[in-house]
Amino acid sequence: MRKILSFMDWGIFALRLYHYILLSSRLFTENDLSNPAWLNVSWLMAALFVPLIFWFPQRRMNKVWFCIAELLLGGSYYVNSVIHPELTSKADYLLPSLTMGYLLTKQTLWIIPAILFIPFIFQSYLKLPWEQAFSNGTDNVLFCFIGIWASIVAKAYYQKIELVVEVEQQNKLLTHYAAEIEKMTLLEERNRMSKELHDTLGHSFISIIMILMLPSLLWIVSLPRSRNG
């Protein structure tokens, strides 16, 4: 019953894992192993693993702190990769936005404006047009809403399965109750028929006995009259 939620959780987890591993592999293949490169790799590893302390599929479910850690570590690396043109491992923030959208709750609604305005952090530094910064922000929000949609679909499917199971259980109970009522009805009908048969046969036998005994009674009654005569 929970397979669909587990499948969706692990699917989102795999996409986020792919995002950070891809960025790390680019750092290893396209940069020499200098101190800045190791710093960026450590940064990415922290962005990958620290949020998982708070959320891991089917294990840990502190979604608020996951989103905070994701924004602080993954979001800051995203801004850093845009600001520093020499960094070959360019990051986007689409898959992390999708993950946070998938884990969205009432306590984490602030994620939507946060990921929308992340590109504006480096907009003034790089002197990018407002339209480009807004476009990057809306891309993040779009992926966030894709994650929200995936979460809604998974929960709706799970609720549907729960409802089907509940209906099946209710049908089994109704079938059981119907069988019990049928047994009770049959037993009551048997008792009624037995009582009716007992009463009817009893009266019939008494009537037959009385009819059979009537001549004898008449004869007994008539005996004294014969002697007197």
Cross-strand pairs, 56? 60
Q: Where are the domains of the chain?
A: 3-157
pTM: 0.69
pLDDT score of 66 more than 70 = yes
Residues 192-198, mean pLDDT to the nearest whole number = 72
pLDDT score of 175 more than 90 = no
Name the token pair of 195: 């009582």
The pLDDT score that the predictor gives to residue 89 is 59
State pLDDT tens for residues 99-127: 999 999 889 999 999 999 888 887 777 77
Sheet strands (E) in 12-157: 55-56, 60-61
State pLDDT tens for residues 26-36: 777 765 556 67
Cα–Cα distance, 15 to 78 (Å, whole number) = 17
Token pair 């891809």 is at which residue?
Answer: 22
State pLDDT tens for residues 205-221: 677 776 777 676 666 66
Alpha-carbon 163 to chain mean position? 10
pLDDT confidence band for 184 (50 / 70 / 90):
confident
